């Protein structure tokens, strides 16, 4: 009998991550789906987990992320502990110069 892959049955949260300006250049993509393990029965995770996963995928991006701000479904994120639900959109915004 074949063994089941435990990762196949682990619930995940899929977040669309959109990159802008220097974050886009560092990531090398405009947007992508980032899948992270769900943090509980409500299929949620945290912004910090999604951001860390994106940084692991794109080493150049990990240098830009500490200076970025984030929008979750177009609402400002006020910390890495903000809950993210399956299907949400996270925008990564580096600092912009000018006025």
Domain boundaries, the chain: 12-93
List the Cα angle 42/80/91 in 5-degree steps: 90
d(CA 78, CA 1): 49
CB 66 within 8 A of CB 94: no
CA atoms in the 13 A half-sphere facing the CB of 8 = 3
The encoded tokens of residue 51 equal 């951001």
Between these two residues, 3 and 57, which has the higher pLDDT value?
57
Tens digits of per-residue pLDDT, 4-55? 455 456 799 999 999 999 999 999 999 999 999 997 777 889 999 999 999 9
Q: What is the pTM of this model?
A: 0.86
d(CA 23, CA 34): 15
Q: What's residue 39's pLDDT?
A: 79
Q: What's residue 3's pLDDT?
A: 52
Superfamily for domain range 12-93: Beta-grasp domain (3.10.20.30)
Q: What's residue 1's pLDDT?
A: 47
d(CA 19, CA 70): 10
Mean pLDDT of 60-84: 96
Confidence check: pLDDT of 99 > 90: no
């Amino acid at each position: 009998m074949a063994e089941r892959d435990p990762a196949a049955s682990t619930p995940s949260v899929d977040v669309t991550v959109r990159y802008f300006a220097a974050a886009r250049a560092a990531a090398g993509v405009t947007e992508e789906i980032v899948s992270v393990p769900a943090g509980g029965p409500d299929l949620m995770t945290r912004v910090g987990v999604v951001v860390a996963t994106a940084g692991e995928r794109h080493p150049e991006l990990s240098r830009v992320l500490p200076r970025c701000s984030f929008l979750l479904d177009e609402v400002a994120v006020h910390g890495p502990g903000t809950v993210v639900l399956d299907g949400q959109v996270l925008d990564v915004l580096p600092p912009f110069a000018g006025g």
